[in-house]
Structures are given as structure tokens and as C-alpha cells.
Structure 1
Amino acid sequence: MRYTLILLLALCVAPLARAGIVDAPAANLEISLMTYGPGDIYWERFGHDALEVRDTVSGESIAFNYGVFDFDQKGFLLNFARGIMAYRMDAETTQSDIDFYAGEGRYVRRQRLALDDAQKEHLRRFLLWNIRPENAGYRYDYYIDNCTTRVRDVLDDALGGALSAQWMGKPGGMTFREQTARLMSNQPWLMLGMDLGLGPFADQPMTAWKEAFLPMTLEEGVRHVRIDGHPLVTEDTLLVPAKLTPPPDRAPDLRWPLLGAGIVLALPLALPALTRRAGARAVFVATGTVFAVFAGIAGLFMLGLWTLTLHRSAWGNFNLLAFSPFALLIVPGIWRLRHAGRPVSRLASRVTALSLAACIIALLLHLWPDFPQRNLPWLLFALPCWAALTWSFCRRHD
């Protein structure tokens, strides 16, 4: 249905002439921002939006959006992992979109915009040009070039730059990291994994313009825009109320939960320095192996995102100071301590001490006001573990 409609809109103008939106007088058109609230599945948590073009005479109404991707395209998974995400513009009847999102329990809101005839004509021409197969594709980026930033930019262009003029100098409310954690908080493990993998890019100072990468933020932003003293939104209608629990207003504070988890994990890591009991050593080996493997794999993952992919939001991640691929080198040294009397591996001792030092350095960097990454929660998690491991290797009872 979607691709059929694209072809009809883009290539078969004549058959659609009677439908209205292609060649109706601009005075007969209404332009609205359609916002669809967050869903339950992780890729739905950021919401979605579209630009609706409605012919008030024929009643024909089409919603244009920029959120289509194809799992079946050649090399999709590999390209996705590398950060090469091919998305497309799409079009659907407004009612079919409303029915779809209502069926998922997501809210649907229409904001009719006060565009003059020249602005409507400009926007319509651009959308019809953009949806042609040769123009519809684009390289998706989670934060700076997504389905909402495209809608924002189309509106800004039609309005002669009025949105960017008002929003670029206005501070944003939350960073990319905070918005991501807030929206993903219903799936804690996924939220934690994303937070660990985000680098300094996610903590950059925000403007209202950048923060409009989210559909709900764009929806709220246009509600307060005034052009030449008149509100941009002339009619704001909730078409379908949400049936799902909305995301929290603020991102969760991860500092104390991760510090608590680090302390709990550090207790068995200190056992070889406290007792000779075989059972305690077995607990140490199991816990130490889990932590070292986690730290090493996390380090490899972050290093791979930085060096092998185009996921710029993961580049230069300072969490590598706390979770290094070198952590895997201490696993044999941990297993040497499962029996009393065995000497500690020098390699394991040195890697552990260096990891503790790197973690302390990373923690001290947070004293610098302009430090670019807000990764304190993960440092609070790692520091007790590296401290306990270092203590055990230095004060073993053999």
C-alpha cells in the first residue's frame, strides 16, 4: 500500500489530479503537524511524526513522514551495525496512520499550522518532489538527521527560517543522553547499555533547535511559536488519547544505583585479601571473572563503535578508561587464585592497578567544569570493583 501510494503521488500525477492535494489551489490546503506518541517497543519509544497535507474541498488528506526503513534490503543488518542506516520518506492516508497508531495505544495529535498560500505551495511542491523514488532516501542519524529533524527542517524552510531563528539561540531542556535515558527507562537493561555506549556527543550543550529531534519536543515547541505576533498553531486537537503509560518527565539518576551495584560487586572481589577459605576464593573467582569479562567486552564494543562505525554519538567514549579491553587479560590471573598458595600473575596485577588508576583519573576529570562527557555513574560503578581487585592482588593470603 505504501509503495503503491508513493508511486501514485510521485509518478502518476494525472490520475491523482482529481484527488486534490497535487493540484488544488493553495487556498484550499491545510497543513498540519501530526504527532504520534511513544510506543512500547524500543524503536517506538521516541515517537513519530508527519506533515499532513489536506484538501478541504475534496477531503483528501495525506501524511508525509520520514521514518521508513527496510529490513529486507541487502546488507541491512551489517550496514545498521556500521551506522549506515538507509531510511526513506513515505506517504499514507492520514486516517490509515491514525488507525494504526490508535491500535497500538499511542496518542495522535494534529496541530493545524497558520501558513499563508505561498508557504503552503512551497511546502507542497517540496514534499511532492521529495517523495519521488530518486529523492526519497536519506542517511539516518538518531539525533541530527531523523524522521523529526526532517519534518522540522521542511517546516522551517517553508516558514523562511522562522523556527531556526527562534530556537537556535534558546537553551534546550535536556541533553541527548538525558532524553534517551528518559524515553528508554521502561527497559532498564537496554537503557543502561545505551547510556554506557554514548560518548561526549550525547552530552553537548543543547539548544531548543537541536532538542527538536524528538516528535514530542517539536510538538511542544511549535505550540509556543509566534510569527509576526500570531501563533503558528491555529488548532491543536488530540485525536486519539494515549492508552500506554507515558515516559517520565526526567531522566533517572543513575549515580546511586550504579554506585550501590559497584559496592555490592566489590565485596566478594575483596575476599582473597580477607580470608583463606576455599569457598570465599570460589566466590571471588566467579565474581571477578564476570566483572573482568563484562569490562573487557564492553571495552571492545565501545572501541569498535568508535573506530569501525559511523555512530558518532559513540565516538571518543571516556568510559573506555573504566572498561578497557585489557580487562580480559586479568581473567587467567583471577583463576590462579582459586587455590591458596599460588602467586598472583604480574600481568594481572599491573593491568588491574593501571585500570584503577585510569578510573581515578577519569573521576578527577569530572572536576573540570568543561569536561565533555557525563559518565559519572559508570565510574562510580567501576571504581569499587577495580579497587577491590587491586587490594586482593596486593594483599593476598598465600
Structure 2
Amino acid sequence: MLLSHLAAAALLLSAPQIDVYTMGTGDALFHRFGHAAICTVDDERPERSVCFNYGTTDFGSPPRELGWAFVQGDAPFWVSKWRLDRMLAVYVAEDRTVWRQRLPLTPAQAEAVAAKLEADAAQFDGESPEANYDYHHFQDNCTTRIRDLLDEATEGALSLDSGTSTKRSYREYGEQGLADMPLIPALGQLLVGRAADEEIDAWQAMFLPRYLRSELEQRLAATPELVHARQGPPPVHADTRGSSLPYLLGFVSLPCAPALAGLAWPRASRVCFGIAGALLGLVGLALWALALISQMPELRYNEALLLFWPTDLGVGLMRAEHRRRYALVRVAVLLACGLGLALGVLRQPLALISLAALVPMGLLAWAESRALGPTDPSRG
């Protein structure tokens, strides 16, 4: 009995404190959704306090290399270890709001967390391609790794009864964080597929540091303590009202303009509709290439693939009757997609974007049907 009490006392004295730090948004693009780190803390010897950062990569690499890795779904990230004072100095220098939450773990739980952190730091040290993990903004990031680790250590305290819907999707959370950069959400409506439009639950929402902080407070009674408050205005706040509409309207107008010109000047219709088809075909080619290259579900399963076809590149090379038939098929498919959107079968926000293909193809079908008439199938 005495030995067991002594062992328990030794464990209590040796077990570290576990603190979770969450950082607010910053000015850089990669800072727009916040950050999280987890630390093993020795209050008696602060110099031994170490923080583990699962969001480490070579941000200094050429943007095309890192961007290409993100597109392919294999952006290499690893775990870095920082002294606590150094980590705090970095985020204070970036003027990021910082919160600390001390987790009320048992000594055994704290030891298990510390051991797992050291094991991950050894496994994912970034020294070789095998020593990285494939980062995913929604599913596997600096915050979800901490969430999963703590959920395991607390025997499901974070995942228990966490299936309640937040009534929002990954896309909506993403657009909120980029409200002052409306071009990026506009591109996202075209490039990011249906996986981003599912309503997510509280567990999934913990991909964002602010939701992890909230759930740790509610489920583990870990009260957030403000360590540093941002001095400047936040990049995105409640009054930010960036709109993607001008960019989307500009995108729609690009193929519509030459199609309208082709309708107005029949003698130049083949050239004008050929230009419209080339623009649509290039969009289709890019989308289909992304879907084939990327391993990310958000890029592979994109409902915009139904709207934009690489075969549109050949519109200007087709004979008139073939153009008419092709345009009628395209219009039929586009109208079916519109019905799918109305019924909720398709769930991406593509109603406005679909006009970029529907209007030119509708005008092409009308123009060719009017020019050919019922008895002239041979015009080129």
C-alpha cells in the first residue's frame, strides 16, 4: 500500500502540465484561420517547457511548389518543437491574439499526452519525405491533430455527443475567414467541389482553432486565459463585407460577350462562338486536369465538371449542323444540372456560374437553328 502511494506521488510530481495555445488570425493568407499548439509545461523550471507545432512546413519554398503540393493533396507538414518563451515571442511579434488553456488532466493522462507528443515529433521531424504528414486544411491540420490526441487521452471527451450540426459547411467557414479577399472565395466556388458543402458537426468544426478552444472550455472545463491581445485591427471582423459577386459576374461575361457578338453579326458567328467555346473549353480543361491530378476530394469531385467540358474547345472547328447538335446537348445537360441544383441533388453554389456555359451554348443553338433552317444541314 505504501509503495503504491509513493508511486502515485512520484507520478503526480513528475507529470507535466499540458497547455493548449490558440492563436487568432493574422495578416498573411496562411494566418487567416488561426493556429494551435500544445505544450508540456514545467512551472518549476520554465526553461524546460516545450511546445509542439503540427503546422510546420517550408513556407519559404517557391509558392508554385508549395501550391502544387496543396493541389495534389500531399503538402508536407511536420512537427516542430519550440521553447514556450520563443513561441510566444513569435506570435506576439506577429500581433496575433494568444489564448492559453491549462487542461485538467490526470497525471496518467498528462504523461500519455507528453509521450505521444514526443513520439510524433520523432516520427514527423521533416528530415525526409517519410517523416512528414500530408496536410489537409479541413481534415488533417495543426488543430485536428491536437483534437485527436486529446480525445484519445481523455477517452473520447471531445468526440462524445459531438454530432450536432453547426448548420454551416466547410465552404462557409472558409469564405468567412477570407471575407476581405473576395477573389479567393470566387475562385473557390468554381474550383472546390461538393465535399466542402456538407454541413459539418461540432467535431469537424474543431479544424478551426477557435472551435477547439470553445470545446475545450465546454467539455474539459479548460478556461481560456488571454496571454496577448492583438493591438491592430483584425484582418476580418464582423463588419467585413467582401463580395465575390463582381468577380463571378466578370467570369460569366467572358464567354457571353463573344457569344452575343456572334448573334449580332452572323457573318462572324463562327469565329465569335469559337472564341466563346475556347474560353469555356479552357476552363473545362483546367477543372478536369485538377480532378485527375489531385487526391483531394474537394478538387476531384467537383460538380462544375458537369458544366464545363474540354470538348468546347472544338466548337469553332465543327460544321454548322454539328455545332447545333452539340449546343443542344450542352444546353440539355446544363438545364438538367439547374434542375439538380433546384432539387438539392447538386449542392455546390453554381447557379450563377452555370450561366457562363448556358448562355453561350443557348445562343449558339438558337443562332445555328435560325441560320440552318429546316432544309440546310450542309452549311459549314
Tell me the residue number matched to 2:334: 359
1:162 aligns with 2:157: yes
Question: TM-score if structure 2 supplies the norm length?
Answer: 0.79
SS at match of 1:56: coil
Deviation of the 1:330 alpha carbon: 1.9
Look up the match of 1:43: 30
Partner residue, 2:294: 309
Letter in 1 for 2:50: I
- Give the Cα–Cα distance (whole angstroms) in 2 for the partners of residues 326 and 351 of structure 1: 10
Counterpart secondary structure, 1:270? helix
Q: Any gaps of 5 or more consecutive residues in structure 2?
A: 1-9, 126-130, 373-378
* Match for residue 313 of structure 2 among 317, 322, 328: 328
| 1:200 maps to 2:187 | no
Cα separation, 1, equivalents of 2:41 and 2:255: 59
SS at the partner of 1:174? Answer: strand
> Who is 1:6 aligned against?
none
CA distance in 2, matches of 1:356, 1:394: 14
C-alpha distance after superposition, 1:245-288 (max 9, x if no partner): 34356997767974686368636532333456x8xx59x96797
Match status 1:111 vs 2:106: no
Q: CA deviation at 1:132?
A: 0.9
Match of 1:151 among 123, 146, 155: 146
Q: Residue by residue, what CA displacement relative to the aligned partner does 1:340-396 show, whole Å, maximum 9, x if unpaired? A: xxxx64444333332222221111002334545443342244433433343344445
Q: Residues 89-147 of structure 1, C-alpha deviation per residue, up to 9 Å, x if partnerless?
A: 11112332222233333322222222232221111111112111467632222221111
CA contact (8 A) 1:201 1:312 kept: yes
Counterpart residue type for residue 201 of structure 2? T
Determine the C-alpha separation between the residues in 1 that align with 2:231 and 2:151: 28
Deviations 1:272-331 (CA, angstroms, capped at 9, x unpaired): 33456x8xx59x967972x53442222222222222321121122111122111121124
What is the RMSD of the two structures over their aligned residues, measured on CA atoms? 3.5
Partner of 2:229: 240
The answer on 1:171 being equivalent to 2:165 is yes
User: Are the equivalent residues in 1 in contact too, given 2:180–2:242 (CA < 8 A)?
Assistant: no
Are residue 100 (structure 1) and residue 90 (structure 2) matched? yes
1:336-355 aligned within 5 A: 345-355=320-330
Given that 2:11 and 2:108 are in contact with CA atoms closer than 8 Å, whether structure 1 keeps it comes out as no
**Does 2:50 align with 1:62?**
yes
Measure how far apart 1:45 and its partner are: 2.1
Aligned equivalents of 1:251 and 1:312: distance in 2? Answer: 29
Partner Cα separation in structure 2 for residue 173 and residue 396 of structure 1: 51
Report the alpha carbon displacement of residue 76 of structure 1 after superposing the two structures with TM.
6.5
Q: Percent identity?
A: 27
In the alignment, is the contact (CA less than 8 A) between 2:166 and 2:202 conserved in 1?
A: yes
Instruction: Name the TM-score, length of structure 1 as normaliser.
Output: 0.76
Q: Secondary structure at the match of 2:336?
A: helix
Residue 218 (str. 1) matches residue 206 (str. 2): no
> Would the alpha carbon gap of residues 324 and 379 (structure 1) be closer, same or farther in structure 2, given more than 3 Å must change?
same
| 1:340 aligned residue | none
User: Conserved in 1, the CA contact under 8 Å of 2:273 and 2:360?
Assistant: no
Q: Would you say how many aligned residue pairs link Structure 1 and Structure 2?
A: 354
Structure 1 pair 262/139, CA: closer, same or farther in 2 (3 Å)? closer
